[in-house]
Amino acid sequence: MEFINPDVVDLSRFQFALTALYHFMFVPLTLGLTFMLAAMETVYVVTGRQIYRDMAQFWGKLFGINFAIGVATGITMEFEFGTNWSMYSHFFGDMFGTPLAIEGLMAFFMESTFVGLMFFGWDRLSKQAHLAITYLVALGSNLSALWILIANAGMNMPEGAHFDPETMRMQFESFVDLVFNPDAQAKFVHTSVAGYVSAAMFVMGISAFYLLRGQHRQFAARSFRMAALFGIISTVAVITLGDVLGRLDYEKQPTKIAAIEGLWHTSNPPFEPWIVAALPDDAKQENRYEIGVRLVLTPLITHTFDQPITGMHELEEEAGPRIRSGIDAVAALRRYGVTHSSMDLAQFTAHEQDMGYGLLATRHAPGQDITAIPADQIDDVVRATQPDILPNVFVTFWSFRLMVFLSLWFFALFAISAYLSLKRRLERSRLLLKLCMWSIPLPILATEFGWITAEAGRQPWTVFGWLPTFLSASSHGVSYMVFSLIGFVLLYSVFIAAELYLMFKFARLGPEHDSMEPHAPAASRASAFDMRPMAS
Amino acid sequence: MTKLLRLAGLAVILVVSLLFAVFVGDQGPWYFAWVIGTVMIILISGAGAIMLDAQSSLSSDGEI
């Protein structure tokens, strides 16, 4: 009997991707804006100048809108693991559940508790105590991200766990290995700092709007300068930390790095070009219309001039013996489940590391039963499974490039903005101010592309090398998946519309208190899309 | 007495920071880099704002 319904798997993937992408529109701003608020409030406490309190309160209000809606969109995903990915939850729940539970208990509650104190404590707490609360909110929101990314790192580079043939699942082994997983470290820092970039662009863009309108000039100038400096350092950091992640992928996830670089054949160091643009064709396994820069790829990925990067064709070839060994592992495990004999266990243990590759062959086995493959057809099954080890190259290749191109744009924009702000020539550079304003959504888009790169590049696995995605989904009907998908799209679209409406409304209204321009006209009367200077 | 307590408090923070740096710096260098980097970003960003205050007070041209 066939038990894998590819439509249900695809719909489950689509639903999770959609809810995660929606949720991730709110997350980066929360991660970064909390630390920007902390920076503004720190200046207020150090200098005692009221303008910085006005800034912390105004940007805090926009943070509050984003936080309230962002939290709501994140909760559903934790339930999706149980409803749509029950096989995955059974297999990896021991590892995945631990960081998620800590995230809920520690970071999320910590963040939520202190958010209330931050909003309502301005006149009830001392300056120093309120500042400490703001830092705790920032720490809490980033610790939330940390535990989520520790869980995610387990899927990409499972460490601190072993497969138990008695329970048929990954068993938790080492909390230290889980927390200090190199992928978790690099991914957390990269994601968190990407949030800083998003927040800096958000503050800089809205401040640019006020400067273009000639309103709240002192308020906007200070916000702009802080955001530009915050942004330029963060952008440099996010690019550097992206390189760390790339290096890790090169070592641990060669299929992902080969797909990211559109590398069908093993590279020829040091001359192999870095492909700037191409149209990867997954079906024909080749690139069309390649534009590349020679001598860049090898040092970029390997940090050497002589190490090759294995291409996708060669990775497919290398997977052949692992698939064959994995088929033996799955067959031995199946027998062990019935006989519990030490001989079957020993045979499974000998091939255990390749079990995932055996499971990958399930789709090509007669009746999706590995044990039913006749001996003379094993070669055919292995050959049919080999291309399955690769992710979708077109999606991985382009999502990575769009993220990189956008981050280079941010670097240029923040660098010029910081320079002009330091030279106090901002108001003369109206084009720059307009570019800053229109660039507000781009860092959020870049983080979405980054997430697509990481997760599309992880395919075909939910737990890399251990559990294929098509075996991870629940056994729902297609109609259930379509119905719930429509529900999510409608609900989340309402959330996005509400967020955009409130953000536009309060951003146009401007700061409620502006101690340096107490009688500034409300910006709300002007359209955010009208760039003519306001008549004075 | 207050000064002594404050000094003791700072000494405790220093010791905890050093232990944190030694352990996390060894086990999780990127976590440590995040802590140091975030503090640095906040300080530089704040310094930029204070510098703008100083620039404004030294100049009367009203430019920002």
Q: What is the DSSP string of A180-215?
A: T-HHHHHHHHHHHHHHHHHHHHHHHHHHHHHHHHT-
Candidates A35, A36, A43, A139: best to mutate against B (most CBs of B within 10 A) is: A43
Out of B30, B34, B49, closest to residue A43 by CB = B49
Q: Domain span at residue B16?
A: 2-58
Give B55's contacts in chain A (Cβ within 8 Å): 424
| pLDDT, mean of each 10-residue run, chain B (64 residues) | 89 87 80 91 95 87 75
* Dist CA A435 CA B57 (whole Å): 29
Taking an 8 Å cut-off on Cβ atoms, the answer to whether A47 and B50 are in contact is yes
Structural domain contains residue B42: yes
CA distance A504 to A486: 27
CA angle, B31 as apex, B26 and B36 as ends, to 5°? 100
**Looking at the domain assignment, is residue B44 inside a domain?**
yes
The answer to whether residues A2 and A368 touch, using CB atoms and an 8 Å cutoff, is yes
What pLDDT was estimated at residue A479?
87
The closest alpha carbon to A190, from A73, A321, A31, belongs to A31
Partner-chain contact B63 A196, CB within 8 Å: no
What gap in Å lies between CA A246 and CA A253, rounded to an integer? 9
Residues of A in contact with B52 (CB under 8 A): 221-222, 225, 421, 424
By C-alpha distance, which of A478, A471, A420, A450 is closest to A211? A420
Tell me if B64 is assigned to some domain.
no
A375-384: long-range pairs with CB below 8 Å, 24+: A378/A324, A378/A327, A381/A323, A381/A327, A382/A320, A382/A323, A382/A324, A382/A327, A383/A320
Whether A233 sits inside 8 A of B27 (CB atoms) is no
Structure tokens of A190?
A: 């990269």
Q: Which two tokens stand for residue A240?
A: 């550097």
Look at B52 and A229 and tell me if their CB atoms are within 8 Å: no
Identify the closest residue of chain A to B36 by CA–CA distance: A189
Domains of chain B: total: 1
CA distance B40 to chain A (A): 9
Whether B34 sits inside 8 A of A47 (CB atoms) is: no
Tokens standing for residue A116: 């209330």
Angle (CA) A435 A437 A439, round 5°: 65
- In the three-class reduction of DSSP (H, G, I as helix; E, B as strand; rest coil), residue A427 is classed as coil
Alpha carbon of B18: minimum distance to chain A alpha carbons (Å): 19
> CA nearest A192 in B: which residue?
B34
pLDDT of residue A533: 39
Are the beta carbons of B45 and A229 separated by less than 8 Å? yes
Bridge partners of residue A277, in order along the sequence: A291
Question: Is residue A332 within 8 Å of A351, Cβ to Cβ?
Answer: yes
Q: What is the pLDDT along chain A (536 residues), one digit of tens a residue?
A: 456 778 888 888 998 999 888 888 888 999 999 999 999 999 999 999 999 999 999 999 999 888 888 877 888 888 888 888 988 999 998 888 888 888 887 767 888 888 888 988 888 889 999 999 999 999 988 998 999 999 999 899 888 888 988 888 888 888 888 889 899 999 999 999 999 999 999 999 999 999 999 888 889 999 999 999 999 999 999 999 999 999 999 999 999 999 999 999 999 888 889 999 999 999 999 999 989 898 888 998 998 999 999 999 999 999 999 999 999 999 999 888 888 888 888 888 989 899 999 999 988 888 888 888 888 888 899 999 999 999 999 999 999 999 999 999 999 999 999 999 999 888 888 999 999 999 999 999 999 999 999 999 999 999 998 999 998 888 888 888 888 889 888 988 888 888 888 888 888 887 877 766 766 555 444 443 343 433 33
Rounded to a whole number of angstroms, the distance from the CA of A412 to the nearest CA of chain B is 18
Q: Where are the domains of chain A?
A: 28-255+390-525, 267-309
pTM of the model: 0.90
- To test the contact with chain B by mutation, choose from A54, A136, A229, A247 the residue with the greatest count of B C-beta atoms within 10 A, namely A229
Q: Which of A187, A424, A516 to mutate to test the interface with B (most CBs of B within 10 A)?
A: A424
Interface test with A, best of B42, B43, B50 (most A CBs within 10 A): B42
Chain B nearest-CA residue for A186: B30
Could you give the CA distance from residue A175 to residue A147 in angstroms, rounded to a whole number? 12
pLDDT of A518 reads: 61
What pLDDT score was predicted for residue A421?
93
* Structure confidence at residue A29 (pLDDT): 92
User: What is the number of other CB atoms lying within 10 angstroms of the CB of residue A356?
Assistant: 25
Give the pLDDT of residue A2. 54
Residue B17 lies in a domain: yes
Helix (H, G, I), strand (E, B) or coil at A496: helix
Note whether A241 contacts B30, CB cutoff 8 Å.
yes
Neighbours of B45 (CB within 10 A): 28
Which phi and psi angles does A170 have, rounded to 5°? -75, 130
